[in-house]
Amino acid sequence: MNAQNAHILSKLQETQEAVTSLVDAGMTVTNISIEGRVPRIDLQKKPRKKMQVCWKVIRPGKGGGRECEMAALLNGCEVRWMEENYQ
């Protein structure tokens, strides 16, 4: 097996384990991307369990107020979600 295929298979396994953990915790996964260095998993809502935020971006919301996009790392994957009406 060439190095690229081995890399993709490794990232798929990391992503599968992370998604299983999130689903088992009652969260809804809306998108998965394994492009790039770190696989990305998008959640429908803020995580039910506390996750250590590694970055966040606060910006004006569409209907006023502020929205915040956050990310945490889980099993080598970046998990992202949005919080609207962020205080």
CB 36 within 8 Å of CB 55: no
Report, as ranges of residue numbers, the positions in the chain whose pLDDT lies below 50. none
Q: What pTM did the predictor assign? A: 0.88
Q: Residue type at 6?
A: A
pLDDT tens for 71-84 read 999 999 999 999 98
C-alpha 31/C-alpha 5 separation (Å) is 22
How many Cβ atoms are within 10 Å of 73's Cβ, its own excluded? 15
Query: Which stretches within the chain are classed as H helix?
Result: 3-24
Distance of CA 50 to the CA centre of its chain: 13
> What's the residue count for the chain?
87
